[in-house]
Structure 1
Amino acid sequence: MKLTYYGHACFSVEVSGKKLLFDPFITPNEKAKDIDIDSIEADYILISHGHQDHTADAIKLAKKTGAKIISNFEIVTWAQNNGVDNVHPMNHGGYYDFDFGRVKYVTAIHSSSFADGSYAGNPGGFVISSSEKTFYYAGDTALTMDMKLIPQFFKLDFSILPIGNDLTMGVEEAIVAADFVECNKVLGVHYDTMEVIKIDHEDAVKQFKESGKELVLMKIGETKDF
């Protein structure tokens, strides 16, 4: 399974011949200035919540690629109001079987609003289960006991967790989250984009290693096999 990191909490994963793009925030991100957004392909765009640092390029990319937007009811409605008709609404606790695999929409503890301050529904995360691999993208979240429910239904190959602190959980809580979801391979996201979420890379990797886990920190634009 190939994963490409586009900075902040934006990444794409190739699953069963389909390209899934998560939380597209590229053009406003100075650290991602070398990414050619017009070269990005997507069959699906999954959006965890409404904040601009997760939705900024969603409408443009959905219209360009024809990708189906998967998110909560409020975000899907926002997309429709902005001219995107290829959508699929979800809500917490439910799952849906797509042509690439199963998507379950799970709890995240955060806030969620659009750039104009209007309500964007409750934030969430996603578990993607496919014939290739199964992974959990937490979205923006605090550490929550609900994470313990995930391994009751899924055996994860890797997890994608925010580690920047201040706006989400930090490294220490992400290590506990990895325990809760019973997954020792973690891709860190939502760090370094702004001053308040800068991290010490070496120390973060060390903390995970001392806990018997692997923390992967990718360069923007880098692609890795997971």
Structure 2
Amino acid sequence: MQISYHGHSVVKIQTGNHTILIDPFITGNELTDLKAAEEKPDVILLTHAHNDHVGDTIELAKNNDAQVVATVELANYLGSQGVNAVGMNLGGSKEFDFGTVKYTKAFHSSSFTTEDGQVIYGGMPAGILFKAEGKTIYHAGDTELFGDMELIGKRNSIDLAFVPIGDFFTMGPEDAAYAVELLQPKTVVPVHYNTFPPIKQDPSAFKDLVKNAEVNILEAGGSIEL
């Protein structure tokens, strides 16, 4: 299984049979190496409804007949736009043909703003535990540090975690490093930084703070094999 990072919080997972995109914010993302017209996902997983995470989901899903998995309120909105969307909620898991998805809590906000300025409530924000081919990947989504990360770490052997470090909108490097201590992943990749001026960070400072996991700082397009 190949997992690659594509700027902001965009993650691509290539299993033996499926291409999965998490939070495909491509158009308008100056840090990404992807082009929406060239992506061919089978599945899109969303952590929450903010535009810099939903991104190109509607276009990608329609163009590729991709299944979208999101929290139920966001899934209902996407379904109203003609997308094949499955709505889940926190604590729930489902085994799909591409892998198992479980939604975990995250502490953030969640709404989608349409092109005409309408604000759509997106339900609870979430993290995602994704399991396939004997491996477990955790994408924390946008969140602050919270104590139940310890439970997530104890109840799941996490091979690879993606955690935000940008501060301002999410936890910053110090809190993210403590989150890694609680989650106990084998490898961690920092995300959600340097996209906008308020979240400018030096990821090497985060790396220096992490003592219990391998930190892999990926440039857009960089990948890890599991």
TM over 0.5: yes
Q: Secondary structure at the match of 2:185?
A: coil
1:101 corresponds, among 88, 99, 102, to 99
Deviates more, 1:42-51 or 1:23-32: 23-32
Distance in structure 2 (CA, Å) of the matches to 1:91 and 1:201: 31
Structure 1 unaligned spans of 5+: none
Structure 2 unaligned spans of 5+: none
Please tell me the residue identity of whatever aligns with 1:7: G
1:16–1:132 CA contact under 8 A, matched in 2? no
TM-score (norm 1): 0.92
Distance 1:88 1:129, change over 3 A: same
Please tell me the residue identity of whatever aligns with 2:28: P
Distance in structure 1 (CA, Å) of the matches to 2:165 and 2:42: 28
Task: Provide the residue aligned with 1:74 in structure 2.
Answer: 73
Task: Provide the residue aligned with 1:41 in structure 2.
Answer: 40
Task: Provide the residue aligned with 2:49 in structure 1.
Answer: 50
Task: Give yes or no for the alignment of 1:155 onto 2:157.
Answer: yes
Q: Secondary structure at the match of 2:82?
A: coil
TM-superposed deviation, 1:154:
1.6
**What is the RMSD of the two structures over their aligned residues, measured on CA atoms?**
1.5
Distance in structure 2 (CA, Å) of the matches to 1:141 and 1:93: 16
TM-score (norm 2): 0.92
TM-superposed deviation, 1:184:
4.0
Distance in structure 1 (CA, Å) of the matches to 2:111 and 2:169: 14
Distance in structure 2 (CA, Å) of the matches to 1:16 and 1:145: 35
TM-superposed deviation, 1:151:
3.0
Deviates more, 1:171-180 or 1:148-157: 148-157
TM-superposed deviation, 1:153:
2.9
Please tell me the residue identity of whatever aligns with 2:37: D
Distance in structure 1 (CA, Å) of the matches to 2:59 and 2:112: 16
Q: Number of residue pairs matched?
A: 222
2:6–2:31 CA contact under 8 A, matched in 1? no
Task: Provide the residue aligned with 1:183 in structure 2.
Answer: 185
Displacement over 3 Å in runs of 4+? none
1:16–1:100 CA contact under 8 A, matched in 2? no
2:25–2:56 CA contact under 8 A, matched in 1? yes
Q: Percent identity?
A: 37
Distance 1:117 1:172, change over 3 A: same
TM-superposed deviation, 1:16:
4.2
Task: Provide the residue aligned with 1:143 in structure 2.
Answer: 145
2:44–2:66 CA contact under 8 A, matched in 1? yes
Distance in structure 2 (CA, Å) of the matches to 1:16 and 1:141: 31
Distance in structure 2 (CA, Å) of the matches to 1:128 and 1:217: 21
Distance in structure 2 (CA, Å) of the matches to 1:178 and 1:184: 10
Q: Secondary structure at the match of 1:126?
A: strand
Distance in structure 1 (CA, Å) of the matches to 2:148 and 2:131: 18
Task: Provide the residue aligned with 1:199 in structure 2.
Answer: 201
Distance 1:184 1:165, change over 3 A: farther
TM-superposed deviation, 1:18:
1.4
TM-superposed deviation, 1:172:
1.1
Residues 32-73 of structure 1 show CA distances to partners (whole Å, capped at 9, x for unaligned) of 3x5322221211100111100001201000011111000111
Q: How does 1:84-99 map to 2 (within 5 A)?
A: 84=83, 86-99=84-97
